[in-house]
Amino acid sequence: MRYGGHGGREIVDRVIASPSEAKDSIKGLKQIAITGRIARECINIAYGFFTPLEGFMGRADVEAVCKKMTLVNGILWPIPIVFDISKEEINEKGIKKGDTVLLVYQDKALATLEVEQIFSYDKTKIAQSVLGTTDAKHPGVRILHEMGDKFIGGKVTLVNTPRFNPPFDKFWYTPKEMRERFAERGWQRIVAHQTRNVPHSGHEWLMKGAWFSANGELPVEKLQTGILVSCIIGPKRVGDYIDEAIVLGHQVLHEARYFRDDIHMVSIALWDMRYAGPKEAIFHAILRENLGCTHHMFGRDHAGVGTYYDPYDAHRIFDQIPEASLNIKPIRILEWWYCPICGEVTYSGLCGHSQEKQAFSGTMIRSMIQDKVKPTKLIFRPEVFDNLMKCTNEYGFGSPFCTEEYLSKRQPIFELPIL
């Protein structure tokens, strides 16, 4: 089992597991109501998903990330993790350096924040440095614009353990728990597949190709290499696949034996995508390094949006950082498509029929699903489609894609008990 997290640091663990101890720790504290994004980041920090971070960044770390893509201590880090707040709330609640405040999510205690620094930083500078654009249409820029005008830097301690609701409870693992699962399976190499989609056959081939690449010279019969499907759970937009269908769709792939159960595992990760293209690819590699993965696959347009980045910028950025700065290897994947001349699915560059290729079009597949037309097995596994229709009725209020009704009425991913 690999115990070290990113930067060679031990996995951060800032969780008070005892309810009585937690209650004592929050008595008399000033309270700040927080957004879903901040709540998810508190959970990630406290459980060690963001190792070596122990809290929200101070000004010096934000500056270093923007200028050098590292923390002040030189550890590679590409995206600022900041706690934003309005100047008015700071003044109203009398928050000052040296305080410890209670962070409240949906009227329940979640975590404490030690106020080590209160500072301002130019959000336009963050956008340009991290996202490469200040265009307000970019979703990452919009996140920055919605932030308060002040930031608080300081350590976070989780005082209330989130309880994940079905079906997500079966797929939630902290970094330490994930590493235990890997050890139980005897996996020496684990390749991460990040996803926000219900899997079609193209995704399946991407994972299989990445598995062969990661397995390398290891004996195939021992099956010491595994695939970790890491489904990103965060804010949703109308038209996105519903989260339940994504997670359960990937689970179906090995239940239906398209992957052996002992080389395939599905999990969830809480993260509000910044769509930062190459910088976010680095961040995703760090996140999965902390989970214990040894490899991470990166395909076309990884973490990109629109035309802000070249389709393979996320591949090239790994050549621009010191190899020793990451303890996880990128697997850079091109495209899989169906070649009607070869009569099979083939990989970019392997056959000479590129003019005749038939790509796996996500738009076409979505259109078919919207009309409840079952795609051919070559495009979409029938078991995945059947599961998608089941999720449509059970979770999606009649739609496999997010609607306003789904976004307003869906069961929360996790809930907090009352302390």
Whether omega for the bond prior to residue 167 falls within 30 degrees of 0, making it cis, is yes
Q: What are phi and psi of 333, to 5 degrees?
A: -105, 135
Q: Which residues of 105-125 are buried (b: 16+ CB within 10 A; e: fewer)?
A: beeebbbbbbbeebeebebee
List, as one string, the DSSP characters of 361-406. Answer: -HHHHHHHHHTTPPPPTTTS-HHHHHHHHHHHHHTSTT-SB--HHH
Q: Could you say which of 14, 40, 160, 197 is catalytic?
A: 197
Give the CA distances from residue 344 to residues 140, 236, 353, 357, in Å, rounded to whole numbers and listed in that order: 38, 35, 12, 10
Taking a C-beta distance cutoff of 8 angstroms, is the pair 130, 274 a contact? yes
Q: Could you say which of 59, 196, 300, 366 is catalytic?
A: 196
Helices and strands counted in the chain (H then E): 14, 17
Q: Is 260 a catalytic residue?
A: no
DSSP 337: E
Q: Is the dihedral of CA 59, 65, 71, 77 positive or negative?
A: positive
| Two tokens, residue 353 | 């029929």
What is the rounded distance in angstroms from the CA atom of residue 124 to the CA atom of residue 295? Answer: 33
What is the rounded distance in angstroms from the CA atom of residue 201 to the CA atom of residue 4? Answer: 35
Q: Is 59 a catalytic residue?
A: no
Sheet holding 336-339, edge to edge: 344-347, 336-339, 358-359
What is the rounded distance in angstroms from the CA atom of residue 185 to the CA atom of residue 97? Answer: 47
Residue 333 backbone class (left: φ over 0; alpha: ψ -120 to 50; beta: rest)? beta
Write out the catalytic residue numbers. 196-197
